[in-house]
Structure formats: structure tokens, C-alpha cells
Structure 1
Amino acid sequence: MMSAHCLEWKFLEQTFCLLPQKAIFWQEEKTLIVSDLHIGKVGHFRKAGIAIPRTLEQEDLSTLSDLIHEWRPSKVIFLGDLFHSEINSDWNWLQLWRGLFPEVYMILVKGNHDILPQQHYEEAGFKITERFETPTFAFVHEPLGAGQLQIENKYVFSGHIHPGVKLRGGGRQSLTISCFYFGLRQAILPAFGRFTGNFCVEVGDSSAVFGIVDKKVVKI
């Protein structure tokens, strides 16, 4: 199944559909891969007295629901930071959302913001782990450093840094957009949650970078 809004990326004999909603559908495994939703971050800031629209995270979950309905994955892999910091009322929204898809196996690769007790995630229906592996790939939260570019010779998928790329116009105009980054040994997904920033990555000869522009994914 393909969508007009999907950019197909053939990689290591597998087919990955890069989606403008900042997610990846792995076709052979019928798996949706997303990173850094940061559900609860809005509630965290609102508790501190900062007026941020409560609907932001509900809209993110609605977008994720639409992707599940469209692509019908058997599995969803969250590359960490599913829930942001301490528990608040936004946790209830996440629990209710999870209950809409009891047939979908959901794996949370623990991120640095996923600090709630493991029991909370398991009771909500998420399988939580430090790392998820297949024969070819390893799924982690944080990108590996220069001295750790391999995990048992597997290609690594991660999130955490919210990658973006800067586009420059003819004058001094510039625009930073979210992107998918594929390097020699690891890929980094953009943050799915909208209440996040971006960290600019370099586009090198050995990397493939795909930006998200006007609801489309384009190779940079």
C-alpha cells in the first residue's frame, strides 16, 4: 500500500515510506515508527503558568490515529519520549488513545523523558524496553556517538535530537524544517510532537536527508 504523500525509500533491501506527518511506515514488517511525541509537555508547562493550547497534544494523537487507520500497522515502535516528565492529566488522554487500538502491538523504547514507573506504561498497554532489535536493525532513543556507531553490526534508528535542516533563499532568508536523516550506520527521525524544537544536522556526501515541506517529503 502506498500513499501519494509518501516518499518511498529503499534501504538495506527494505522499503520505508517516509511520511510528512513525521513518521515512517516499514512496509515489509507492517510497522509504524515514530519518535518524540512528548505527550504531557503541554500540561507540564501549563502547570507552571505558561498559556499553551491544550489541544496541541490531542491533535498529535489524532494525527497518529489517522496514520494507524490509513496504514493499518500490526506494530508501532515509539523511539522514546512518548510521555514528557512527571504524570499529569495528559496521561489520561494517552491511556484513552491507547485503548482505541487494542489489536496493535505498541513498543516504547525508553527515552530520557520517559521517567514514569514501568508499570504505568505496561498497564496502559505499552511494551517498554531499553532497546528493540531485529536481525538487521536496532531501535534506540538517543543517536549513537562517534565511538559507538555500531550495535552488533546492526543499522540503528533513533530520535531524541529532533533533527532539522536549514534551507536558505536567494537573499538572507532561511527556514529550518524537520527532516529524516539517514547516515552510514544510523537514521534519526524527526520529532512527531509539534511542541518541540529542531536541531540542525549537516547534509554530507555520506548521508541522505529528507525534509518535510508543504505536507510533502523531499530529498535535500
Structure 2
Amino acid sequence: MQVVCGGESLTLLPEKAIYWEKQAALIVADLHLGKAMHFRRAGIAVPAELNQENLRLLQKLIVRYAPQQIIMLGDLFHSQLNYQVEEWYVWRKQFPDITFHLVKGNHDILAEEEYNRLQIQVHHELKLGPFHMVHVPQGDMETASSYFLCGHIHPCVRIQGKARQSVVMPCFYFTQTYAVLPAFGKFTGRHFIRFASGAKVYAVLGNEVVEVPAG
């Protein structure tokens, strides 16, 4: 699915990522790597393989699009160091020519030296072209001169079918001044979005992204 915002053409991918061809960049949000281990330590039986599944999916996109940079809009890691963070370190070494940018999220609490060791460039916010990239949507986005790209919310939408059938799907949410990406990670919550006036919603349905009509 191709969309244009901020004068730039973006490809919305069913893997819940954006490819920005002009900058040879993949943009993702909310991987929450290590979250499974965080829950397992608390005695909750979450499959540890979810971490590897997220990395395999990201690797699939890297092979397909050959990006020069990957921009992560926060919550790359879910909490403190654990062996699943080290899985990232081993995985990341396969791609020495790709620059990994992290716009820090509320769960990104590692020490600065750890991000350096993991070969991640960390930003509190990142401005590139017409885009102002942050993790948490901000209150002044409606009046800002830049177009904001955000994560954090994990947006989803309910699609109504016939005979009261419905399905809840992750989605991309675009307004005139900002967009919110769906969570890339497989082990995340979801938040129902409300259609603001003029907003567009693009739901992830299997292997495609489709626009959802308002109302």
C-alpha cells in the first residue's frame, strides 16, 4: 500500500513496517524484544521463541528491501538486560553496513554504554526530511510544521462484516499532521483508535494492507 504524507511516498507493509524508498529506510515501532523473558521470569509461561520470530521477520524485510538504515520508533527492548537482548546483539552483527537508529521509548531503559555495545544509535527524537520521529504522540502535533511519525499506542481497528461478524486487526493511523505505526512485535497489546476528522486507517489483513472506511 502506497501513501503520500509530508510530500514523501511511503510503502505500508503487511509486516507492520514502513519502507521509505527515498531514504532506503525501514521504519518500525515497538518490537519489545525481551518481553517474553521478562514475563517468564515472573512465572508466566510465554513462548521464548517470540523473540527469534520478531528478528526473523525483520531479517526477511532486510533481505527484501536492502535498507541502508532501520529506524525504530521506541520500545525496541522491553526492559533490562536479559539473554534475549544478547540474541539481538548476535543477530545485529549480520548487518554491519546498516545503521540502526532507536528513538527511545518508555521501555528502553538500558544504559548508554549498552546501546553503544549493541551498535544502536540512540535519539530522544529524530528529524529526517519532513518527518519528526518520536515514540509517544505529543500534544502539539496538530499545530507543528513537521509531520510526526510515532509508535507507543499499538493501534488496532475493528472491521465489521455481515451477520455481526467482526475482526480486530492492527493498523496504521494517519492524520493530516501525524501517523502512528502498529506494533511490529508479536507479543504486544493493542489499543482501539478513534477516527479523527479526515484521518485514514490502513488495516493489516494477512498479506496485505487495506484502507478502512471511516464510520
Pick the TM interval, shorter chain: over 0.9
Q: Secondary structure at the match of 2:94?
A: coil
- For residue 61 of structure 2, the aligned residue among 41, 64, 67 is 67
Q: Distance in 2 between matches of 1:70 and 1:200?
A: 31
Q: Which has the higher helix share?
A: 2
- The alignment-based identity, stated in percent, is 41
Output the amino acid matched with 1:169: G
Q: Secondary structure at the match of 2:3?
A: strand
1:178 pairs with 2:199: no
Deviations 1:171-209 (A, max 9, x none): 333221000011111000000001012101123441111
Output the amino acid matched with 2:211: K
Q: Distance in 1 between matches of 2:155 and 2:112?
A: 28
Unaligned runs of 5+ in 2: none
Report if aligned partners of 1:162, 1:190 keep a CA contact under 8 Å in 2.
yes
Deviation at 1:91, TM superposition (A): 1.0
Q: Distance in 2 between matches of 1:218 and 1:10?
A: 15
Q: Distance in 2 between matches of 1:156 and 1:204?
A: 16
Q: Which residue of 2 aligns with 1:3?
A: none
Unaligned runs of 5+ in 1: 1-6
Output the amino acid matched with 1:119: E
**Matched residues, number:** 212
Output the amino acid matched with 2:8: Q
Report if aligned partners of 1:79, 1:140 keep a CA contact under 8 Å in 2.
yes
> Where do 1:46-125 residues align within 5 Å?
46-125=40-119
- For residue 187 of structure 1, the aligned residue among 165, 179, 184 is 179
Q: Distance in 2 between matches of 1:127 and 1:52?
A: 30
TM-score (norm 2): 0.95
Q: Distance in 2 between matches of 1:209 and 1:107?
A: 26
Q: Which residue of 1 aligns with 2:210?
A: 218
Report if aligned partners of 1:138, 1:151 keep a CA contact under 8 Å in 2.
no
Report if aligned partners of 1:82, 1:114 keep a CA contact under 8 Å in 2.
yes
- Structural RMSD (CA): 1.3
